[in-house]
């Protein structure tokens, strides 16, 4: 039984064609450059593959059906082009929901058409050099001065950090109020005092631009306050379930893709006069990986439908993120081993997927943070 209907199947086929036409022919170029061409976002917008949760009046698809997001993750994973397309999934799954949920009418008219068209690329800046997963430790401040906030601080590990036009910045608008003093400001490309650092040189996901951001007396109009002042923690919690499910969904799809590549390889590769597939160890490893993927898919799909219904709990989202990302990392390691030395060469997709997978158990909240969240529900 599948959670997808004919509309989703048509969407899948269309997105697969888009990847084959617009991304894959240039993927190696993007990997070497360390950044994906902005035109890919624009082309995705023309075909309706970004901003589909944005209201129709602003050029979006006006749907909150996360099955479309899941299809995008699954198809990207199947191509092995996860690094380059990470910016697309972040734009759709993680940043756009904040604009849809918290923009006022003026902000919606100003920003949403560009987000839906792919001409305005988005990012969210939470992590700071000294905070990591501890959002309560954010030091970036935005002190109000008349009709503006004066923003000072630094962020790091920001996906779409180089390409982004709109950056949602988590900051302290009242440094004395603890969590209740934190707000979300939208910083726009070109604002004086807003500087981008280097495009960070990562272990994997090379074509996903990831940058340091610096704010030095950036004067951000009060009109760029997203939602109400002092509510950042509530707003961030609103979308965390979707963000974590997105990572878990991709993790499962990446594991399934690796399994497929490995099955094809071991059937063809000869060693000691027989195919690798004939060895008992190969059979046992692939049997275990296939079983883990098979039993994970119903849980992920159930979680997708619960998210659509507004019923996905923080603990279930954490389970999806923890299990899906750990499955991805574990599968890449085991499958690469079956490729032998060729697995370490980038001519096979398993090598790149192995490097790309290592971050999965870290970003979006580490596995250890996910366990802490899950334990709270388990223990009551």
Active site residue ranges: 243
CA distance 58 to 109: 7
The token pair at 24 is 């894959």
Tokens 């590769």 sit at which residue?
269
CA distance 52 to 69: 9
Q: Determine the angle formed by the axes of helices 232-268 and 349-357, rounding to 10 degrees.
A: 150
CA distance 192 to 188: 10
Contacts of 43 (CB under 8 A, 6+ apart): 18, 22, 118
CA distance 318 to 205: 23
Burial class (CB in 10 A: 0-12, 13-18, 19+), 278: middle
Paired with 225 in beta bridges are: 185
Residues 169 and 123: beta-carbon distance below 8 Å: no
- Eight-class DSSP state of 4: -
β-bridge pairing 122-125 and 166-172: parallel
Torsion from C-alpha of 312, 314, 317, 319, nearest 10 degrees = -130
Q: How many residues does the chain have?
A: 380
DSSP alpha helix (H) spans, 1-81: 6-18, 27-33, 38-46, 66-79
The token pair at 207 is 């074509």
The token pair at 48 is 């309706």
What spatial distance separates the first Cα and last Cα of the chain, rounded to whole Å?
33
């Amino acid at each position: 039984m599948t959670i997808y209907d004919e509309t989703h199947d048509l969407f899948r086929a269309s997105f697969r064609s888009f990847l084959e036409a617009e991304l894959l022919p240039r993927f190696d170029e993007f990997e070497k450059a360390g950044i994906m061409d902005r035109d890919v976002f624009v082309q995705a917008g023309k075909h309706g593959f970004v901003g589909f949760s944005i209201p129709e009046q602003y050029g979006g698809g006006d749907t909150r059906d996360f099955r479309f997001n899941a299809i995008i993750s699954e198809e990207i994973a199947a191509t092995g082009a996860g690094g380059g397309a990470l910016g697309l999934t972040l734009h759709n799954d993680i940043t756009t929901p904040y604009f849809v949920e918290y923009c006022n009418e003026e902000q919606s008219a100003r920003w949403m058409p560009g987000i839906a068209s792919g001409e305005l690329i988005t990012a969210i800046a939470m992590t700071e050099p000294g905070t990591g997963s501890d959002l309560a430790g954010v030091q970036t401040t935005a002190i109000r001065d008349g009709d503006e906030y004066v923003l000072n601080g630094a962020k790091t590990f920001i996906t779409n950090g180089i390409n982004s036009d709109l950056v949602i910045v988590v900051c302290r608008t009242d440094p004395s109020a603890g969590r209740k003093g934190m707000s979300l400001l939208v910083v726009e490309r070109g604002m004086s005092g807003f500087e981008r650092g280097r495009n960070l040189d990562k272990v994997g996901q090379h074509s996903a631009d990831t940058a340091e951001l610096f704010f030095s007396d950036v004067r951000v109009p009060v009109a760029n306050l997203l939602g109400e002042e002092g509510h950042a923690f509530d707003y961030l919690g609103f979308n965390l379930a979707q963000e974590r499910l997105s990572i878990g969904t991709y993790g499962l799809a990446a594991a399934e893709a690796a399994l497929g590549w490995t099955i094809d390889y071991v059937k063809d590769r000869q060693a000691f006069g027989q195919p690798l597939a004939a060895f008992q160890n190969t059979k046992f490893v692939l049997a275990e990986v296939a079983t883990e993927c098979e039993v994970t898919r119903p849980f992920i799909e159930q979680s997708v439908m619960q998210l659509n219904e507004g019923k996905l709990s923080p603990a279930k989202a954490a389970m999806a993120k923890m299990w899906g990302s750990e499955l991805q990392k574990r599968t890449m390691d085991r499958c690469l081993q079956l490729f032998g030395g060729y697995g370490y060469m980038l001519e096979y997709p398993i090598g790149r997927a192995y490097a790309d997978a290592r971050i999965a158990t870290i970003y979006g909240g580490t596995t250890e943070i996910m366990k802490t969240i899950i334990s709270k529900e388990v223990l009551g």
